Amino acid sequence: MQTEAKDTYTYLDAVAVALDSEMERDENVFLIGEDVGQFGGAFKVTSGFLDKYGPRRVVDTPIAETGVTGLAAGAALVGLRPVVEFQFADFISCAFDPIVNVLSRHHWRTGDPMPVTMRAPFGSRLRAGPTHSQSVESYFAHVPGIKIVMPGTAADAAGLLIASIRDNNPVLFLENKYLYRRLTTPAPLSLEPIEIGRAHVVTEGTDVTVVTYSAGVHQAVDAAEQLAGDGISVEVIDLRTVVPMDAETVFASVRKTSRAVVLHEAAEHLGMGAEIAAQIQREAFWHLDQPVERIAARNTPVPTSPPLEDAVVPQPAEIVETIRKVATA
């Protein structure tokens, strides 16, 4: 398993270490999902957990996302803290009913806590095709009662997962699978929880604000470094959680720079960028020198073909040129 001491930790390692830490700390935390036990999870995040914690706390299930999620809801109501793994976020649509009509609603109906954490690898750029590459945050961001966490760094993945498991609300924890083995953070890995709903200003700037999350953080930072060579100062804000969203950090940045770009890899139509742009327009309108611009995927399913996938999801040149256009217009 990925929980032994290391010099550096990948994003995947960080998720595994956080899970292991919480299971050691609280015997009420248990894992449930398809292939989380003997197989070690679709991406091997839970490799070795079955041997360490046994089948009562690492529960392999049939291919039945609806039933698994409903079972987790019931377990939470009797004092347990289930962590559900969906093999791919695409498959969460099968569990839409228990998530929307049970997990998100129960506390507001009864006052009971509903501490269910749902882990789901999401996103494109792995040439996995239209049914294994979806970004699902906007499906659930419209539903009151669910928190949505989308860490963009290995360190944040650990701290935010710990905070999610300890939270008494249902949390959708979306892990960008493209980042799993591409990102590292040096040891020691902090296991302190990171507050849900607190954004991070990754780079400070004065000419334009880029609001993003998950893999978009690294695309934005790369673009900021390139544009700095042209004398354009870019402030990059990593939301870290999209629900709740740290809107005040965003507004403060936009009031300083007077320009804003929102970046994500989900499809543009009704994506999170639309909501973020609307809030900026409402709360910081008189500070804006340009309309808020969005960079997002095209409104089409993600193709399997590498050239076609690249044509659908935001690419570095598009990101740089869009930010440049907003910053200099």
Residues marked active site are found at: 65, 132
Could you check whether the bond before residue 55 is cis, i.e. omega within 30 degrees of 0? no
Strand blocks (E) in the chain: 8-10, 29-33, 58-60, 81-85, 117-122, 147-149, 171-176, 184-186, 200-203, 208-212, 234-238, 241-243, 260-267, 293-297
DSSP conformational letter for 190: P
Cβ proximity of 188 and 123 under 8 Å: no
Q: Distance between CA atoms of 177 and 31, rounded to whole angstroms? A: 19
- Closest to 235 measured CA to CA, from 266, 215, 258, 265: 258
Dihedrals φ, ψ of 29, to 5°? -80, 130
Neighbours of 156 (CB within 10 A): 24
- Closest to 217 measured CA to CA, from 205, 231, 199, 232: 199
Within a 13 Å sphere around the CA of 77, how many CA atoms are in the beta-carbon half? 13
Q: Distance between CA atoms of 277 and 266, rounded to whole angstroms? A: 15
DSSP conformational letter for 84: E
What are 216's two structure tokens? 């978009």
